[in-house]
Structures are given as structure tokens and as C-alpha cells.
A and B are shown apart, each in its own frame.
Chain A
Amino acid sequence: MISIQLILLIIFGLAAIWFGWRVFMTSSMVRSALSLLGSMVAIGILFLVMEAEFLGVLQIMMMGTEMSIMAIFMMMYMMDPGGLGNMDMSHQKNVSIVAGVAVTILITGAALFADWGIIATQVPSAHEQNRLLGMEILKRSMMIFETAGVTILTGMIASIAVALSIKKSMEK
């Protein structure tokens, strides 16, 4: 029986795939960044369809910000951000296509032929999910969450250190 959840999953899944494909098919860098934003928002909606409300909203908000920043960087660093010159910025296309198709077939085969066991029909309500996720973070997964926090701090320091301009006094 085809349920509403399955229909929504297919619609937004196809949207995510379509936008993901458009990222590498357009010569305009701004369109690439916006297509990736579309794909990430579609993934966020897929989370909402799968009843993971908190993660869905978090994904849409986070990726909205990140892709906007990415679009700005694209315009800063690209020689032809509007894609007016139709520059080809790809290499080893055949190898990449073969690798992409082979991995897709491999994972799809695993998804189709694996024995997934019993499928759950019920999930906790949205507010109960938030409470249980909070309990998970504050109890069993506390060290992992703390590690993620420290990793973000390390990443921030590393980013600033890498992006600093090398002064002449430092070169000596």
C-alpha cells in the first residue's frame, strides 16, 4: 500500500537528487551554491517526513546559513562566478562517472538485498523525542557531545591559523 509518507519521501528525495545533480551541471557558481542549498533543504524536509522534527529544522537552518556563506566564497574566489565564459572546471570525467555509478549500484544492492528485520511503525512524539535526545546527550553520549564541542573549537582555531597571512617577520 502506498502511504502519504512514501509519496512525500519520493517527491522530496527526487528534489534532493535533482538539486544535487544541478550543482555539477551548471557553469554558474552562484547557481551551484543555490542548488546545493536546495538539495540540503530537501534533505531537511526528508528528515521532517521521517518524523525527526528537531533534526529536520536544524538541518534546514544550518545549511541555509552555510550555503549562503559558500555562495559568498564562490563569488570571491572564482574567476568566472556568473559562468558567462562557460569554463570547464572538471577533469577525469569518465573515471568519476564510473566511480559514482558503481558506488550507487553497490549501495542500492545492499539496501535491496539486506535483511533489515522488523520495521518500526511508531515513533515518540516530537516533544518526547526532544526530551529523549536531551537525556541521551546529557547521559550516555555526553562525552561524544563534549568531544564535538571541543572539535568545533579546535576547527575554529585551525581555520584562523591556516587563513592568517604570513608576515615577513614570521618568514624569517
Chain B
Amino acid sequence: MELLITALIIAAVLFGIGLYGALSQTNLVMIMMGIELMLGAAMINLVAFWRYLHPEAFSLQMFVLVAMTVMALEGAVGFAIATQRFRTSGTVEMEESAELKG
């Protein structure tokens, strides 16, 4: 039991750090780093649930592969937005993107 709880606590702390980063940073690439940390924490949870609760259910490992896909896509689309933002306004600081507000 202590193995599962240790893994879940590690993931919880990583998620908290990622959330802090995503909320506190003004730079687009740094915000993306926070999101990556949160996704990493979610993957630790998934692997821990597979290992310690249902080692016979490989759909959990499949779920980790989907999470990795989301991470890669988040990086690709995020960098594309950063490229376009840098081209149009010369910066990727989100404080200066107030015109994007709905």
C-alpha cells in the first residue's frame, strides 16, 4: 500500500508545482512547461494504478500512450502559436496579449 501512496503523493506534488507554474508564468513557453509537468504527474498516477491495482489491465498503459500523444501535440501546437505570436508582436509574453481576451 505504501508504494502506491508514495507514487500518488509524488504525482500530487508535481501536479501542484506544474499548476503553480502554469498560473504564475507570463511567458508562453514557461506556461507550456507547467502543463507538461501536470501531464507528467497524471502519467505517474496512471502507471501507479496499473502497477499496484490492475497489472492485468493494459488499457491503463494504453491511456499513458494517449497522454504522451497529448504532451507531444501540446508542444507542437504551443510552439506554432509561439512562432506566430513572435512574428506578429515580437514577443511571447502573454501579458501583452490582452487583445486575445474574448
Binding site for B on A (CB under 8 A): 3, 5-6, 9-10, 13-14, 16-17, 20-21, 23-24, 29, 32-33, 36, 39-40, 43, 46-47, 50-52, 54-55, 58-59, 62, 66, 69-70, 73-74, 76-79, 89-93, 95-97, 99-101, 103-104, 107-108, 111-112, 116-117, 119-120, 122-124, 129, 132-133, 135-137, 140-141, 144-145, 148, 151-152, 155-156, 158-160, 162-163, 165
Contacts and interface: CB of A to CB of B under 8 A. Distances in A.
B26 A89 contact: yes
Nearest to B57: A136
27 contacts: A9-B3, A10-B6, A21-B17, A24-B17, A24-B24, A24-B33, A32-B30, A39-B37, A40-B40, A43-B14, A47-B47, A52-B51, A69-B75, A90-B24, A93-B24, A100-B20, A103-B12, A107-B12, A116-B1, A119-B3, A120-B52, A136-B58, A155-B72, A155-B73, A155-B77, A162-B77, A162-B81
Interface of B: 1-21, 23-30, 32-34, 36-37, 40, 43-44, 47-48, 50-55, 58-59, 61-62, 64-66, 68-69, 71-73, 75-77, 79-84, 86-87, 91-93, 95
Contacts of A90: 24-26
Contacts of B91: 77, 79
A117 B53 contact: yes
Enumerate the 9 nearest inter-chain pairs by beta-carbon distance, A residue then B residue, closest first. A104-B16, A100-B20, A13-B10, A96-B24, A111-B8, A107-B12, A159-B80, A136-B58, A96-B23
Contacts, number: 234
A156 B95 CA distance: 27
A116 B4 contact: yes
Given A36-B33, A66-B75, A74-B29, A119 B6 contact: no
Given A24-B20, A24-B25, A123-B51, A40 B36 contact: yes
A95 to B, nearest CB: 7
